[in-house]
Structure 1
Amino acid sequence: MDLPAQLRLALQSSNHPIPSQTWLTAIVTSRTPPPPFQSLLATAKARLLAADLTTPGLLDPSLATPLPENVSDPNLPSRTLTADVHVQVVDIENLSRSRWEQVEELEALERGEGTRGREIIRLPAPGQGDDGSGGADLGDEEGESQASAAHARRTAARTGGTAPGGSKKATHRLVLQDHAGRTVYALELKRVDRIGVGITGIGEKMMLKSGTAVARGVVLLEPENCVVLGGKIDAWQKPWLEGRLKRLREAVGSNPSPT
Structure 2
Amino acid sequence: MSQPQTPLSIAQQLHTSLSQTQTPLPTLTWLQTLASSRNPPPSLSSLLATARMRLLNSDLTTPNLLDARWKAQHSLPANLAQGYIDKREGRLGREVVVQVVDIEDVSRPRWEQVEELEAEARGEYTKGREVVRLPLTPPGTEEDDVDTGVAEDDEFESQGPPSRGAVATNGTTGTAQQKSQKSDKNSTHKLVLQDCSGQKVYALELKRVPQLGVGRTPIGEKILLKATTLVARGVVLLEPANVVILGGKVDAWHRAWCETRVRRLREAVGAPPGDERGRRGYRDL
TM normalised by structure 2 equals 0.72
Superposition pairs of residues 8-47 of structure 1, within 5 angstroms:
8-47=15-54
Residues 138 and 215 of structure 1: is their aligned pair in 2 closer, same or farther, counting only changes over 3 Å? farther
1:108 shift after superposition: 7.2
Match of 1:147 among 166, 176, 179: 166
Matched, 1:232 2:252: no
Residues 211 and 75 of structure 1: is their aligned pair in 2 closer, same or farther, counting only changes over 3 Å? same
Residues 203 and 108 of structure 1: is their aligned pair in 2 closer, same or farther, counting only changes over 3 Å? farther
Match of 1:168 among 185, 201, 220: 185
Residues 49 and 254 of structure 1: is their aligned pair in 2 closer, same or farther, counting only changes over 3 Å? same
Structure 2 Cα separation of the partners of residues 114 and 205 of structure 1: 32
Aligned partner of 2:222: which letter? Answer: K
Match of 1:67 among 65, 70, 76: 76
For the aligned residues, what is the CA RMSD? 3.7
Aligned partner of 2:78: which letter? Answer: E
Superposition pairs of residues 76-115 of structure 1, within 5 angstroms:
76-107=87-118
Checking the alignment, whether the CA contact within 8 Å between 1:136 and 1:143 is kept in structure 2 is: no
Match of 1:196 among 175, 198, 213: 213
Which stretch of the first structure deviates more once superposed, 139-148 or 97-106? 139-148
**DSSP 3-state at the match of 1:96:** coil
Structure 2 Cα separation of the partners of residues 142 and 13 of structure 1: 15
Structure 2 Cα separation of the partners of residues 211 and 144 of structure 1: 27
Structure 1 Cα separation of the partners of residues 127 and 99 of structure 2: 28
Partner of 2:240: 223
Which stretch of the first structure deviates more once superposed, 142-151 or 199-208? 142-151
TM normalised by structure 1 equals 0.79
1:220 shift after superposition: 0.6
1:13 shift after superposition: 3.4
Structure 1 Cα separation of the partners of residues 125 and 44 of structure 2: 36
Structure 2 Cα separation of the partners of residues 126 and 141 of structure 1: 18
1:228 shift after superposition: 0.9
Gaps of 5+ in 2: 149-153, 276-285
Residues 226 and 96 of structure 1: is their aligned pair in 2 closer, same or farther, counting only changes over 3 Å? same
1:202 shift after superposition: 0.8
**DSSP 3-state at the match of 2:69:** coil
Structure 1 Cα separation of the partners of residues 46 and 274 of structure 2: 43
Partner of 1:132: none
Partner of 1:253: 271
Partner of 1:183: 200
1:111 shift after superposition: 8.2
1:33 shift after superposition: 1.1
* Structure 1 stretches of at least 4 aligned residues deviating more than 6 Å after TM superposition: 108-120, 135-138
Partner of 2:283: none
Write out per-residue CA displacement over residues 86-136 of structure 1, whole angstroms, 9 at most, x where no aligned residue.
Answer: 11111110011111222245557878999999898x9955269xxxxxx97
1:31 shift after superposition: 0.7
**DSSP 3-state at the match of 1:186:** strand
Aligned partner of 1:88: which letter? Answer: Q
**DSSP 3-state at the match of 1:180:** coil
**Number of residues of Structure 1 aligned to a counterpart in Structure 2:** 244
Checking the alignment, whether the CA contact within 8 Å between 1:108 and 1:114 is kept in structure 2 is: yes
Residues 169 and 47 of structure 1: is their aligned pair in 2 closer, same or farther, counting only changes over 3 Å? same
Structure 2 Cα separation of the partners of residues 38 and 30 of structure 1: 15
Checking the alignment, whether the CA contact within 8 Å between 1:84 and 1:208 is kept in structure 2 is: yes
Checking the alignment, whether the CA contact within 8 Å between 1:89 and 1:202 is kept in structure 2 is: yes
**DSSP 3-state at the match of 1:167:** helix
Match of 1:206 among 212, 223, 227: 223
Structure 2 Cα separation of the partners of residues 187 and 105 of structure 1: 23
Checking the alignment, whether the CA contact within 8 Å between 1:165 and 1:196 is kept in structure 2 is: no
Write out per-residue CA displacement over residues 60-111 of structure 1, whole angstroms, 9 at most, x where no aligned residue.
Answer: 0111222112311222221211211111111110011111222245557878
